[in-house]
């Protein structure tokens, strides 16, 4: 079992930056990948980015490429989502997911077994 807790959401203005944190605990040594997804009202869950637990390979979604980055602190089992130059289209609940299963489509939410409660990010004009 892996426990996932997100934090860091809030209300910001267009152009601001915000960093979300995802703290993982439990059987973290079994993890394959940690990913960030977001879901806006009446929209499907969208892939934001992911980092492979071993090796640190990073993939960023096309819609946020160039503005968002992912990093990891191995000492604290924390994965960060750094979001820059935010705009109202980034408004959503951001979810951190983790998976112990190996899969080629790490941009698919169905690969992820463990999820946090979500963090609301609201960007005002």
pLDDT band at 21 (very low <50, low <70, confident <90, very high): very high
99-123 pLDDT, tens per residue? 999 988 999 999 999 999 999 999 9
pLDDT of residue 103: 87
If you average pLDDT over residues 68-74, what whole number do you get?
A: 96
Residue 93 pLDDT > 90: yes
Find all residues with CB under 8 Å of 66, minimum gap 6, and list them: none
- State mean pLDDT over 54-62: 94
Among residues 118, 103, 124, the alpha carbon closest in space to that of 45 is found at 118
User: Cα(95)–Cα(97) distance, rounded to whole angstroms?
Assistant: 6
Q: How far is CA 101 from CA 30, 89, 94, 110, in A?
A: 9, 31, 22, 11
């Amino acid at each position: 079992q892996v426990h996932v807790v997100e934090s860091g959401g809030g209300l910001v203005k267009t152009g601001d930056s915000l960093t979300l944190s995802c703290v993982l605990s439990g059987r973290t040594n079994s993890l394959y990948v940690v990913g960030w997804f977001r879901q806006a009202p009446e929209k499907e869950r969208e892939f934001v980015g992911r980092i492979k637990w071993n090796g640190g390979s990073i993939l960023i979604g096309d819609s946020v490429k160039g503005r968002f980055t992912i990093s990891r602190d191995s000492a604290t089992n924390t994965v960060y989502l750094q979001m820059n130059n935010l705009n109202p289209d980034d408004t959503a609940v951001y979810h951190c997911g983790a998976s112990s299963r190996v899969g080629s489509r790490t941009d698919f939410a169905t690969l992820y077994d463990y999820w946090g409660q979500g963090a609301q990010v609201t960007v005002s004009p």
